[in-house]
Structure 1
Amino acid sequence: MSTQPAPREPQESDFSLAQLRGDSARMAPHWVVPAADAPAPVSPAGIHGVVVPPSSARLIDATSEYGT
């Protein structure tokens, strides 16, 4: 009878961030992302029927200092 513990599978917490980043970098070339078509611009006259609740409008209006 052996007194050695059975080998265990590595747990997620056994891997470091550096290992995860390395694995991701090696896998990245295998992932092909198709080019996305840019949506066509819509004129403001074409947007109708949008209803914004007053509370949402006030919220957006109050965030003007965070804008560009």
Structure 2
Amino acid sequence: MTKPDAPAPASADPEGGLASLRGDCARMVPHWSAPGPGTARPVPPSLIHGVTVPPRSARLLDAMSDYGD
């Protein structure tokens, strides 16, 4: 008898399971490129145009302790 929290065997997943996904990702690594360190710089607020936040959303975020405090 298996434990209820035991992972399902790989054969139960028609897509191949986590091991298959990890293998696919490992094979794709050479195709991905990451920006070099220090390439992302903060953008001054004066250069940000066209972004609007509805007042209702701004009030909601302001009321959230993670954002407003």
* Alignment TM-score, normalising by the size of structure 1: 0.49
Query: For the pair shown, which has the larger CA radius of gyration, 1 or 2?
Result: 1
* Alignment TM-score, normalising by the size of structure 2: 0.49
